[in-house]
Amino acid sequence: MNNAYNLLSEPIRKYIRDKRWEQLRAIQTVAIEKILTSDNNYILISRTASGKTEAAFLPILSKVDFYEPGVQVLYISPLIALINDQFNRVEELSKNLDITVTKWHGESSRALKEHLIQNPAGIVLITPESIEAMFVNKAYQVRHMFSNLKYVVIDEIHSFIGTDRGKQLQSLLSRLQDINTKSFSIIGLSATVSEENKFIEVKEFTGNIEKTKILIDRSHKIIQVDFRYFEGETESLPLDLLKDLYVETKDNKALIFPNSRGRSEEVAVKLKKIAQKVNGHINYFSHHSSIDREVREYIEFFAKNNARQNFSIACTSTLELGIDIGTVDEVIQIDATFSIASLIQRIGRSGRKDDESSNLILYATNSWSLLQSIACWELYNEGFIEPAFMNDRPYDIMLHQALSIIKGSPGKTVKALTKLLKENFAFNKIDQEEIIEIINHMIETDLLEKLQQELILGLEGEKIVNSRDFYSVFTTEPYFKVIHSGNVIGEIPYSTELSTIENIFLAARIWNIQYIDMKSMKIDVVPAKDGNNPVYHGVGGNIHPRIKEKMLEILYCDLKFDYLNNICFDQIREMRKDFSYFNLPNLKNERPLLIGDLHILLYTFTGSRINHTIKFLLDLAGITSSLDDRKSEFYMETSKSFFLEKWKDITSPLTEIDKYISKLLKSKPFLLNFSKWGEHLPEKYQVKILKDKYFDIDNTQEFLNKIVLVENDEK
């Protein structure tokens, strides 16, 4: 054992001896030394299953005096399931030390919560929404419990960075800091943090850039990668792909990521059918957000506790984060991931033991998806992770926090509330005048009410805050529950065709719809023999520009990529040939423009948000286009001269873009649906959040200013 071990307290050293660990992991060694000798914030970055939780808790438990009054350590997790997993580990770590460990989330015991309120001490494991609820409903107790905090540990911190939920958490951290006379330190844990901008996004997250240091272990496992190509001609997955997938997975423990809930059902049901025909194992499951929680927990339990039996789980990002399902032999991705970060998380699920490599198979059903998969794989090997999208002016989250603050402690003046929000580091880039304008709007719309000079909740504000839905900042759609003889299986969206659809797949089984109860939103089903995927309606994802640029680079180089078999490489060769007609010596600044007799095709090879913005600018210029974001392709039925004439001035509306977005929002109010609280903002600020979150004005301007179109006539 090394020097770090000797720095730990004796009970912790005993824990390590009892566990018979031969040595500390790299991230643990460095974290122990740093955390024990300073009060900085630290972000611990190292791959899945490398002992990050212990890297944080071994030194914290050594350092903190748990006999002091109040809760000493707060562990914050994005998932309840993760809290339940970590509870067991943290409790085991703490048992020699007589430290209370309490789970605090919507499904944990009320009696234990009550006990903690009476005797605040030790470690609390909690979700951001539960902290929010405490500030709203137990404002006095929050001070009583959390005003002597020493450490806040944030697990899977990357899942918060650059999101609305992350802004909410930042605001809650800032509010917690306000009730602590001495400042607490923050420890963030993650396997995937971008270092493109020198870690600025994660450092900013803690509210103190200077005090936040990065501890990173870049070592990674050897990954066996295998690309396979099966062209899809219909909506359904090609039969040959399914057969190949069956043979590949039948003797293994496999996680299969087909990118959507509907496809997960298709994969699980169809593989199971093949298995039944050939008498293979039939441990085929689907795991996604529309599968009932109990069914999902059963699948997780099965995966974790069946050492002998093989299984395949077709899943969405539900199995991407650190929920403990044990080790799997292989990870299979069907068509490209939307991000490198996601690819890394998925790879991390296989070969978790030290001596195992990770096995990854990437299937593609069309050439553009294959190209994107190769681009992601290449970028992964270059160490690229897309930086989180930064949202400096979250007016909607600030409005939500203003309601939370006034509910928790009414009677503040406008001036006092403005000061609180301005000093909250989640909102420090929002101007004071803007804050005052939004508070006044809230008073006008009865969200807040002014009694003499003191603010309380208004009638509309009461309605919103006193609802169960207030504590989270994300929206969810209402679905119909699917029930078989009293047991809930999962849920599906209602559509008018549903009653005429014969049968649906759900939870890896096939069901016949018997009865739809419109009032209580329930669907009764019985087992059936054949059917179709359920259709969940989603909106497209946002791909980072670097992935699309990499796709362009792959088309204009002559690398052979020796990990590709002939079938895959033939696809790339074909695409290279198609694009070879454009002479593009400068890939940074040039893009192909194909001129046909009746139409024009523009290939931007850039990110989704820039593409959305260009589409909007084309609309404003009077050019109707249809955008296929997968190919970064704009299809326009217009003449070359008309297009080029308009293209010269395409960026001119950007100077007064607010006016145009305002008009767009009036005709399409649903564009704001991504924001749960945006509808309560003054219109001016609704336009601003659309501008910041849906479009990407600055980067589009920069892109259009540098890009030169290279023409070629269609043969």
Partner DNA sequence: GACCTGCTGCGGGCTG
Q: How many residues can be counted in the chain?
A: 715
What are the structure tokens assigned to 328, written together?
């799997």
Residue 477 or 711 having the CB closest to DNA: 477
Residue 42 or 634 having the CB closest to DNA: 634
- For every residue of 438-478, DSSP letters joined together read HHHHHHHTTSEEEETTEEEE-HHHHHHHTSGGGG-SS----
Query: At its nearest, how many Å lie between DNA and the CB of residue 170?
Result: 14
Surface-to-core class of residue 137, CB atoms within 10 Å of its CB (0-12 exposed, 13-18 middle, 19+ buried): middle
Query: At its nearest, how many Å lie between DNA and the CB of residue 339?
Result: 6
What are the structure tokens assigned to 527, written together?
């087992």
Residue 21 or 479 having the CB closest to DNA: 479
CB hemisphere CA count around 88 (13 angstroms)? 6
What are the structure tokens assigned to 64, written together?
């903190």
The C-alpha atoms of residue 322 and residue 333 are separated, in whole angstroms, by 18
Say if residues 293 and 488 touch (Cβ distance below 8 Å).
Answer: no
Residue 336 or 610 having the CB closest to DNA: 336
Residue 107 or 423 having the CB closest to DNA: 107
Say if residues 100 and 434 touch (Cβ distance below 8 Å).
Answer: no
Note the helical H segments in 120-260.
128-137, 139-146, 164-179, 200-205, 239-249
Residues forming contacts to DNA in the complex (CB under 7 A) are: 78-81, 105-107, 127, 129-130, 133, 137-138, 165, 259-262, 288-290, 316-318, 335-339, 342, 369, 372, 468-469, 471-472, 474-476, 536-543, 608, 629-630
Query: At its nearest, how many Å lie between DNA and the CB of residue 549?
Result: 13
Residue 437 or 462 having the CB closest to DNA: 462
Using CA atoms, how far residue 382 sits from 199, 375, 377, 378, 550, in Å, is 17, 11, 9, 6, 11
Provide the 3-class DSSP secondary structure of residue 391: coil
Query: At its nearest, how many Å lie between DNA and the CB of residue 474?
Result: 4
Query: At its nearest, how many Å lie between DNA and the CB of residue 294?
Result: 13
The β-bridge relationship of strands 212-216 and 41-45 is: parallel
Say if residues 498 and 532 touch (Cβ distance below 8 Å).
Answer: no
Query: At its nearest, how many Å lie between DNA and the CB of residue 68?
Result: 26
CB atoms within 10 A of CB 350: 25
Residue 5 or 380 having the CB closest to DNA: 380
Note the helical H segments in 359-431.
367-381, 395-408, 414-423
The C-alpha atoms of residue 187 and residue 436 are separated, in whole angstroms, by 34
Residue 396 or 629 having the CB closest to DNA: 629
Query: At its nearest, how many Å lie between DNA and the CB of residue 338?
Result: 4
The C-alpha atoms of residue 205 and residue 551 are separated, in whole angstroms, by 31
Query: At its nearest, how many Å lie between DNA and the CB of residue 703?
Result: 17
Residue 459 or 539 having the CB closest to DNA: 539
| Phi, psi of 287, deg, nearest 5 | -135, 110
Say if residues 30 and 214 touch (Cβ distance below 8 Å).
Answer: no
Q: Which residues contact 230 (CB under 8 A, 6 or more apart)?
A: 238, 240, 241, 244, 363, 364, 365
Residue 204 or 300 having the CB closest to DNA: 300
The C-alpha atoms of residue 226 and residue 223 are separated, in whole angstroms, by 10
The C-alpha atoms of residue 254 and residue 300 are separated, in whole angstroms, by 13
Query: At its nearest, how many Å lie between DNA and the CB of residue 147?
Result: 19
Query: At its nearest, how many Å lie between DNA and the CB of residue 230?
Result: 16
Query: At its nearest, how many Å lie between DNA and the CB of residue 303?
Result: 15
The C-alpha atoms of residue 512 and residue 39 are separated, in whole angstroms, by 60
Residue type, 45: I
Residue 24 or 473 having the CB closest to DNA: 473
What are the structure tokens assigned to 327, written together?
């080790």
Residue 16 or 269 having the CB closest to DNA: 269
Q: Which residue has the tokens 């990954």?
A: 223
Residue 365 or 699 having the CB closest to DNA: 365
Query: At its nearest, how many Å lie between DNA and the CB of residue 486?
Result: 18
What are the structure tokens assigned to 71, written together?
């809760």
Residue 2 or 475 having the CB closest to DNA: 475
Query: At its nearest, how many Å lie between DNA and the CB of residue 36?
Result: 31
Residue 534 or 682 having the CB closest to DNA: 534
Query: At its nearest, how many Å lie between DNA and the CB of residue 597?
Result: 26
Query: At its nearest, how many Å lie between DNA and the CB of residue 371?
Result: 10
Report the alpha-carbon angle 95-96-99, nearest 5: 55
Query: At its nearest, how many Å lie between DNA and the CB of residue 632?
Result: 8
Q: Which residues contact 44 (CB under 8 A, 6 or more apart)?
A: 27, 31, 52, 55, 56, 187, 188, 189, 190, 215
Residue 62 or 632 having the CB closest to DNA: 632
Q: What is the dihedral of CA 65, 178, 34, 160, to 10 degrees?
A: 120
The C-alpha atoms of residue 160 and residue 156 are separated, in whole angstroms, by 8
